[in-house]
Amino acid sequence: MRDAPGNFNLLHRTCSLVVLLCFLHISVTVIYYMRNSDLRQTFVQNQQSPQIHRKLAEQRVTTEESPQRLPSVSNVTETERKLETCPDNPPRLVGPLRVEFSDPVTLDLVRSENQALQPGGRFKPTECIAQQKVAIIIPFRHRDEHLKYWLYYLHPILQRQQLDYGIYVINQDGEDTFNRAKLLNIGYAEALKEYDYDCFVFSDVDLIPMDDRNFYKCYNQPRHLSVSMDKFGFRLPYAQYFGGVSSLSKEQYLKINGFPNNYWGWGGEDDDIFNRVSSKGMSISRPDGVIGRCRMIRHDRDKQNDPNPQRFDRIAHTRETMASDGISSLTYNVVNIEKDQLFTKITVDVGKP
Ligand code: BGC
C-alpha cells in the first residue's frame, strides 16, 4: 500500500498531464480552423463576379512594384491594365539625406545598385505613368571623380521621384576655354533627338541634393533647385542667383531662345539666363531653404576655366543679344557618343572664343 503523500503526488502528475494534453488539443484545433478560414476567404474572392475580379487585378497593377511578379489574369485587357499617372507625392521619398564624399564609390558599384536602368541612364517607373519626361543635362570636362558621386546619389533619388528620365553628360572636347551654357544648349538639342522630353534639368556635376523632396522636374515658372548650398552657408548668395541646378520646360526654354553661346570661361552665363527669364515676364520658382539644401564636392578651379572678364559687359546687354544668340544660333560638332548603363556621354567640339 502507498502512503497518502505518495498518492497525492501521483494524482497531481496525472492531472498536469491531462491539462497539458487538453491545451495541445485546443491549440491544434484553433490553428487548423484558422488555416481553413483563410482558404475559405480566398475561395470566396475567386468566386466573385468578373467585375470585382477585374478590379482586384487592376489594384494589383497599380500598387505592386514589379509587374513581372504579377499573376497572369487572362481576362484582363490591355486598356483595363492602364496605369495611373504618378502621384504628386511619390510614396517612396525619404526626405533629408546623408550626403558625403569620403566613401569610396566605383561606377561598377553604382551600376550594380541601379539595375532597373536602360542603356544611356534611362529610367521610367513601372508602377505608374511619370508626370514628366525629364532630360538631365550635365556640362562636363575631366570630372570623372565627381560624376561617380553624382550618379551614385542621383539615380536612386530620381527613381524615387518616379520620373521618366535620361542622363546626358555633355563633354567638351579638347582643352580650350570651357563654355558651360553652350554645353547646356547642346544637351537640350541632343536629348531631343533621342526622346520627346518635355522638361530639362541643367545640373553641375558637383552638386548633390540633400533632400529627395527637391524634385528634379519642371514647374509653371523656371525653377532654381540649388537654393541652399553648403558652399554659400546654406543660403542664396544673392536674390537673382540662378546657378548650380535649374529646370525649364521645353516651352520656357524656347521662350528665352535657350542659353547664351558666347560666355567663355567661368561666370556670368547663369546671370544671363536669369535676365532672359525675367525679360520674358517669367519669375523664378524655388523650393524652401530646407528642402533645397545641397552639397558641393570641393575641388580646385578647373584649368581653362578662368573667370571671364567680359561677363559683366555681356550681362548688361542680355536683352539686346538674346534674340540672336541662343538655341536658334547654336552650332557644334559631335565627336563621340557613348552609351553607358548610367549615362549617355556626348563629346562635342564647341569651337573657341
Ligand atoms: C557669377 C555667377 C556665379 C555666382 C556665384 C557671380 O558673380 O557671375 O556666374 O554663379 O557669382 O558664384
Residue range 191-221, pLDDT digits in tens? 999 999 999 999 999 999 999 999 999 999 9
User: What superfamily would CATH give domain 107-349?
Assistant: Spore Coat Polysaccharide Biosynthesis Protein SpsA; Chain A (3.90.550.10)
Given a cut of 80, is residue 335 above it in pLDDT?
Answer: yes
Q: Which three cell numbers stand for residue 116?
A: 532597373
Site to substitute for ligand 1 among 241, 306, 310, most atoms within 8 A of C-beta: 241
| Per-residue pLDDT band at 103 (split at 50, 70, 90) | confident
Q: Ligand 1 centroid to 267 CA: how many Å? A: 5
Sign of the alpha-carbon torsion through 133, 139, 144, 148: negative
Given a cut of 70, is residue 36 above it in pLDDT?
Answer: no
For ligand 1, atom 4, name the residue with the nearest CA.
267
Sign of the alpha-carbon torsion through 175, 180, 185, 188: positive
Given a cut of 90, is residue 93 above it in pLDDT?
Answer: yes
What one-character-per-residue DSSP string does 259-315 give?
Answer: --S---SBSSHHHHHHHHHHHTT---B---TTTTEEEE---PPPTT--B-TTHHHHH
Distance CA 222, CA 228 (A): 17
Is 150 tagged catalytic? no
- What residue spans define the domains of the chain? 107-349
Lowest-pLDDT choice from 15-29, 284-298, 305-319, 337-351: 15-29
Q: Ligand 1 centroid to 175 CA: how many Å? A: 22
Is 269 tagged catalytic? yes
Is 264 tagged catalytic? no
Lowest-pLDDT choice from 40-44, 73-77, 111-115: 40-44
Mean model confidence pLDDT for the chain: 86
